[in-house]
Structure 1
């Protein structure tokens, strides 16, 4: 299985994107992933999922966990350490969907 770093090479560029806003089914803002050091990999992955699936469904979340590769196992062993992976695992568990809104710089 490819590593997360290798998977990153397949994700879209994030130039011009300030942040992604994640909204629940009611349109409420549930999380923000900013374009800053430490979260750029997650921003690229979530943007990839949004472009591939339209929204982040449980199936998209499963794909996201696969793409996070070795970090998904670490997240399962250490809840809270990887909040963006925890969110995907929670979507799968609860069978919920998130909409993604991209905010430009």
Structure 2
């Protein structure tokens, strides 16, 4: 299934302005804003957090690579082009997800 088709199966995120990824020390490692260019990633990360207890775990990261569909192969071929996919490819420790309401 293509990424665009996959997105249509994920929960709506119109109630979110952004989501923050927090490491074990409490530092914000990334903020994904619900705006063009990042909205799809907000939807993917939100769905993963819902399925994995509010965190992006190694299991969530593996699932997320499947959700990104054709973009995962492009991210592997072009490191740095898709930072939100790169994060999943290299995830070593869980990241807490904090939702920022719209």
TM interval, short-chain normalised: over 0.9
Which residue matches 1:98?
A: 95
Give the RMSD, CA atoms, in angstroms: 0.7
Which residue matches 1:50?
A: 49
1:20 Cα deviation from its structure 2 partner? 0.3
Q: TM-score, normalised by structure 2?
A: 0.96
Q: Deviations over 1:7-44 (max 9, x none)?
A: 10111111121000000011110000001001100000
Gap runs ≥5 in structure 1: none
1:78 Cα deviation from its structure 2 partner? 0.3
Once the two structures are superposed, the pairs formed by residues 65-104 of structure 1 within 5 Å of their partners are 65-91=65-91, 95-104=92-101
Which residue matches 2:20?
A: 21
Give the secondary structure class of the aligned counterpart of 1:37. coil
Gap runs ≥5 in structure 2: none
Q: C-alpha distance in 2, partners of 1:21/1:9?
A: 22
> What count of residue pairs does the alignment treat as equivalent?
101
Give the secondary structure class of the aligned counterpart of 2:56. coil
